[in-house]
Structure 1
Amino acid sequence: MNHATLVVLALLRSEPMHGHQIRRVAELVNLSEWAEVSTGAIYNTLRRLADDGSIVAVRTEQEGNRPPRTVYAPTEAGLYELERLREVALSQPIPDASVMLALIFTAPGSDPDELRELLRVRQAALRRQHEDLVHLRQRKDAQGAPVTAAMAFRAWEMQLAAAVAWHDEVDGRIEELCAPEAMIRTPDHRRAADPGIPRGARARAQARAAAAAARESNPSPAGAAEDGAPGTPSTVTPSAGPEPDAGPDTRSTPS
C-alpha cells in the first residue's frame, strides 16, 4: 500500500490544503519514522495525483515574499481511491502501519457505524489468528520444541492479544474518533484557518496597540512622589467635540 497516497487524500478530504500544510502534519506525527512517508514522497504524490485526476488545484496562496503555493482538493476519483485504500488498510489482519494511518487520517469525518463494522471484521480475524497460534504453540510444546521456539510463539501471541484488546478500546471511542475536529492540525494551520488568531510580530504589535488603547480610555493615577506621598491623579479633559448643528441661517440676505 502507498502510505503517502492515503495520507494526502485523507487530509485533502478534510479540507483543501497545499503541500506545505500536509508536510507540517506529517512532521507533527513523525510519519517518516514509522510510516515511511517522507517530505519528498508527499510532493511526488501531489504531482502524481494531480496528473491522474485524483486531485485538482482550487486556488493559489502566497504569504509575503514566499513562492506561491497551490491548494488542492480531491475529485470524485480521488475520494473513491481513498475509500478503497482505507478498506484495504483496515482489512489487513496483521499489525501494520497502514492500519494506524487509516485510523488517524480517515476516521475523522467518517460514519461511525461503517468504521465500527470494518474494525470489528478485522478484530475477528485477529482473534482467529491468535487462537490458531495458541493451538500451534501448544502442539509444538507437546512435541518437545526448544524453548527458543516457544518464546517466539509467545511473542506473536502477545502481539495479537494486544491488537485484539486495542480494538475493544477503539470500539468504545469510535464516536470521538469520527468527529471532524479529531483530524490532526498544526498550530500554523489552525491560525491560517482562523485569521483572528495573531502570530509573531503581528501578535506583538496588536498587543501593544491594545495596551495603548486601554491606557488612553482608562488612564491610571500618576506615580507616587519620591517621599512616598501619593501622587495626584492625572486629569483628562474630555474633548468638546464638534458643536451641534445650528441649522440653516434664516436671516435675510441683503440684495
Structure 2
Amino acid sequence: MSAPRSGRRAGVRLLSGNVTSPPPGGQFPRNAASHPLDTRDYLRESSRVSSIRFYILAALAERGPMHGHALVALAEQEHVHEWTDISVGGLYGAARRLAREGLIEAVRVERQGNYPERQVFGITDAGRAALRTLQREGLAELSWRHDPVDLAVSRLDPDALDELEEVVRARRDRIAAVLEETRRHRARIRRYLTVAEWIATQHGERRLEAELNWHDELLAAVPDIIRDERTRTKEQS
C-alpha cells in the first residue's frame, strides 16, 4: 500500500465545496445560500501545535535540503491546505522565521538558467529537536474547534422559524455530498498513501460522518425546536 517517497500523498485532495451555514451572529439568514461555510473547517482542529512549522521541519528532515519554491510545490502537490490548517502561501515567511530561530539554515545557493538565485535550506540539530517536540505534542494534544452553528441553533430568529428545516436540510445534504466525495477520493488515492497517511486521512472522513449523524438528529428535532421556541416567545410576550 505504500508508495515511493516521491509519491507520498500525491494528488491528495480531501474536500471541496461549501456547506451552507448560519453566520456566527446566532440567527438563520433568510437566504441561507448567501452564507457559505468552508467545509475544510470540519477537518481542522484548533491547536497550539504550529502545523506550518511542523510541515517545513518534517519535509526537510525527510527529503533533505530544499529551497522555498520546492517546499511550496511539495505542499501544493500534497494539497496540504485542504486537510490541514496550513496556508501554502505562508511557507516562505514561516521558513524565514525558522531560519532566524536557527531551526533551519541556508546550506547553499542555487540558480537555474536566468532565474534568480535561491537559498537552499536544511534542518539544523536544533530544528530536529524542535521537530521531535512538535511530533510528540501533535500526537498527545487534544483540541477541537467550536462550530458557530451550535450558537446559531441555540439563538434562533423567531421570525424565521419556518425556514429552519430548509436551512438544516441544506446543511445536511451538503455535508453528505462532501462525505461521499471524500470517500471516493480516498479510494482513488489509496495506492499512493502509506499506512499512516491512509489512517490520518480517514480521520477527516470519520469526523464528517459524525457531523452527518448530528445533522440528522437536528433535522429530526426541528419540529420540537420550533414548537418550544414559539411557546417561549408567547410566554415572554
> For the superposition of Structure 1 and Structure 2, which TM-score range results when normalised by the shorter chain?
0.3 to 0.5
Report the TM-score when normalising by structure 2: 0.40
RCO higher in structure (CA 8 A, sep ≥6): 2
Structure 1 or 2, whichever has the larger Rg, is 1
